[in-house]
Amino acid sequence: MTGCPGARCVSPGDALAVWESAIRAKHVNLVELRRVAWRSSAATEYAQVAGDLSDSGLETRFVHGLRLVGVKVRQPVRIDGHAIDGVIGRSLLVQLDGFEFHSSAAARRRDLEADARLALLGYTVLRFDYAQVFFQWEHVVDTILRAIAQRLHLREIR
């Protein structure tokens, strides 16, 4: 075997994504995961923050990355009958487009229709895809922080 064994070989966000995917798939029990006497402080920390709210590694990576810059994301949330991947404050909605559920023209139309309905209700909807979250993270963070600076997360929704 070559390389580095275990979670020390990947980024913290990737390690957390693997753990959350295992929890979500019921390969790992969250209570048991938190009871393990981990040999590293990083593993202990991630066992405490790991959960079953993210539907994918994409969502885990997104929420973890924002947590690192001090932005709290609620997930998952249903608004107007539509699943929202992340809500910041009262009114800033973030949708994450992985390939599996967002690759067809019909799925794109569905997303655009939902975004329009949510905008008409007063929400700001930001949509990012897999490549942006994994390879253009600075753009994602900058966009969200600019929206927060404009107080788009604090709009009163009726």
Judgement on whether residues 119 and 145 belong to the same structural domain of the protein: yes
Rg (CA), the chain: 17
25 assigned to some structural domain = yes
Q: Average pLDDT of 62-74?
A: 95
Judgement on whether residues 144 and 95 belong to the same structural domain of the protein: yes
26 assigned to some structural domain = yes
Judgement on whether residues 22 and 78 belong to the same structural domain of the protein: no
Q: What is the pLDDT of residue 131?
A: 93
Judgement on whether residues 104 and 149 belong to the same structural domain of the protein: yes
Lowest mean per-residue pLDDT among 6-20, 71-85, 123-137: 6-20
The total of structural domains in the chain comes to 2
> What domain range is 74 assigned to?
56-158
Judgement on whether residues 106 and 129 belong to the same structural domain of the protein: yes
Judgement on whether residues 28 and 85 belong to the same structural domain of the protein: no
Token pair 């700001």 in the structure block, residue: 124
- Give Cα 16 distance to the centre of its chain: 11
**Chain segment 14-64, per-residue pLDDT in tens:** 778 788 888 888 888 888 888 888 888 888 887 888 777 777 888 989 999
Judgement on whether residues 22 and 87 belong to the same structural domain of the protein: no
Out of 20, 35, 52, a domain closes at 52
d(CA 29, CA 135) in angstroms, rounded, equals 31
Class of residue 98 by CB neighbours under 10 A (exposed 0-12, middle 13-18, buried 19+): middle
Judgement on whether residues 43 and 111 belong to the same structural domain of the protein: no
d(CA 88, CA 129) in angstroms, rounded, equals 18
Judgement on whether residues 85 and 42 belong to the same structural domain of the protein: no
